Structure 1
Amino acid sequence: MAAAKTARGRIAPLAEEDTLSLGERAYRRLRESIVQGVLPAGHKISERSLAVELGISAQPVREALRRLEQDGMVVTLPRRGTVVAEVGPAQLGELGRIRAALEGVATALAAERMDAGSIAAIAAILKRMQAGTEARDTDALDEANEEFHALIHRATGNLFLMRSLGSLRAYDNLGRHRAVGSTPRDLPKALAEHKGIVAALKKRDPALAEARMRHHVLRSLVTNGVLPPPPRKERRT
């Protein structure tokens, strides 16, 4: 669900045809509004104003804000009320490393649990990634990448892991939104990493799948400037 941008500090109302619960829809819309900077750090949150802007009652907004506070994306301050949290580079880096570890665990579980249909589905996503890389279509690649990770998360069958990764991916998107980001020359590298992950899934090799996914996530964090490059190993003379 993309958050439609209006004026700074204001967000678009929810569409009536959405089928998710109001609380879930409000949570996703507010989370994306924070990621995209529509609701910037330090912005004071008014539960009543948000309910009016979203076109819903206060209860689902209250539920969404409670979840966002658990995620660390909003905070309640004395004499100020609820505001959008300031997430600095150091915190983004820490959360990125945590996500890399959890993505690795999820991929290891997926290697053990994915059925033939899921393997075929992720192979089809990989073909779309190949086409998007060749066309340098970053929008198509972003969409395929989200589906790639979401499929792996679902294959684990672990609700706690899926929820944890869902929250952490919001911070990943926040980091990418702030950073310069990948250049076209980085796209083939990402494609090769995704191919390696799919190969490990097809081999039903949990250890290899976990290692390749963790490497992929950490490398992407370095590329996007969220983490510093690892120190170069000195060559022995």
Structure 2
Amino acid sequence: MTVDEILATTANPPASSLAEQAYQYVRDRLVMLDIRPGAPINDAQIAAAIGMGRTPVREAIKRLEADHLVHSFPRRGTFATTIDATELSAITEIRRQLAPHASRVAAERATAQQREQMRALADQIGKGKLGDQDRTALMRVDKAAHGLIYQSSGNAHLEDILVRYDNLAIRIWWMVIDRLPDLAHHVVEQAQLLNAVADGDGDRAEKLTLEHIGDFEREIRQVL
């Protein structure tokens, strides 16, 4: 199974409605900063870009506001939220508490198919020349690994919270990505974590997740 196929079933589950399609489209553009922080969100333009009416786009925007990715102001309109690097500590605090737990329970609860997917993705990461890939591709690999583990926890509420805060962390990461010397090694770490979860080693999975989150925060602080 490829990275794109894994992303299609985790970070981007099958879109069962037009509103879900609009949500995924706008969310990904906000997270990857294709829509810049502070930029206006024009529902008519988005609807035209993805070929649908404005109603599902408006429904998607309401969800994105709950995700803290957009903010609506009376009589002014809706805008992409600005990125405040000082929020990194608060975001990391939540991820430190919940992500290691998700990795542990995923090691306990993952289905045979999910474990097979983890090993396949870990194998791709281990064999691939990640240093030669563009940064968007590296980010997609990272999201695929996180998404698969969260989904394998078997707790949809935990998965939803972690994906939401991962997206906020990625926005901060993307803001400073050009100043990070080595993005690939951060993604390569995921292979060890995926294999630990696939092997059912909850202790190791929990430890590796905590280290991964700590490394992420330290690297960003070094360039802020």
TM-score with structure 1 length normalisation?
0.74
Superposed CA deviations along residues 115-154 of structure 1, whole A, max 9, x for unmatched, are 3333232122111111224764356544433322222112
AA aligned opposite 1:103: A
Out of 69, 72, 79, the position equivalent to 1:73 is 69
AA aligned opposite 2:181: T
Out of 132, 135, 160, the position equivalent to 2:128 is 132
SS at match of 2:128: helix
8 Å CA contact retained: 2:41, 2:80: yes
Q: Distance in 1 between matches of 2:43 and 2:127?
A: 44
Q: Distance in 1 between matches of 2:66 and 2:211?
A: 28
How much does 1:162 deviate?
1.5
Superposed CA deviations along residues 162-186 of structure 1, whole A, max 9, x for unmatched, are 21122222223212211135434x6
How much does 1:30 deviate?
1.1
Superposed CA deviations along residues 66-125 of structure 1, whole A, max 9, x for unmatched, are 111101111122431222211210124422332343221210110111233332321221
Q: Distance in 2 between matches of 1:211 and 1:165?
A: 17
Task: Give the aligned partner of residue 183 of structure 1.
Answer: 181
- In structure 2, the CA distance between the partners of 1:89 and 1:63, relative to structure 1 (3 Å rule), is same
8 Å CA contact retained: 1:129, 1:141: no
Task: Give the aligned partner of residue 43 of structure 1.
Answer: 39
- Is 1:222 aligned to residue 218 of structure 2? yes
How much does 1:34 deviate?
1.9
- Is 1:90 aligned to residue 100 of structure 2? no
Task: Give the aligned partner of residue 154 of structure 2.
Answer: 157
- Is 1:166 aligned to residue 156 of structure 2? no
TM-score with structure 2 length normalisation?
0.78
- Is 1:211 aligned to residue 213 of structure 2? no
SS at match of 1:75: strand
Task: Give the aligned partner of residue 10 of structure 1.
Answer: none
- In structure 2, the CA distance between the partners of 1:34 and 1:198, relative to structure 1 (3 Å rule), is closer
Q: Distance in 2 between matches of 1:78 and 1:19?
A: 30
RMSD (CA atoms):
2.8
8 Å CA contact retained: 2:196, 2:204: yes
SS at match of 1:86: coil
AA aligned opposite 1:216: H
How much does 1:53 deviate?
3.3
Show structure 2 runs of 5+ residues with no match. 5-13
Show structure 1 runs of 5+ residues with no match. 3-17, 230-237
- Is 1:28 aligned to residue 24 of structure 2? yes
8 Å CA contact retained: 1:133, 1:141: no
- In structure 2, the CA distance between the partners of 1:203 and 1:127, relative to structure 1 (3 Å rule), is closer
8 Å CA contact retained: 1:133, 1:188: no
| Larger RCO, structures 1/2 (Cα 8 Å, 6+ apart) | 2
8 Å CA contact retained: 1:97, 1:218: no
Superposed CA deviations along residues 7-35 of structure 1, whole A, max 9, x for unmatched, are xxxxxxxxxxx854211111121122223
Out of 47, 50, 57, the position equivalent to 2:53 is 57
Identity of aligned residues (%): 25
AA aligned opposite 2:148: L
Q: Distance in 2 between matches of 1:52 and 1:202?
A: 42
How many residues get paired? 209
- Is 1:108 aligned to residue 104 of structure 2? yes
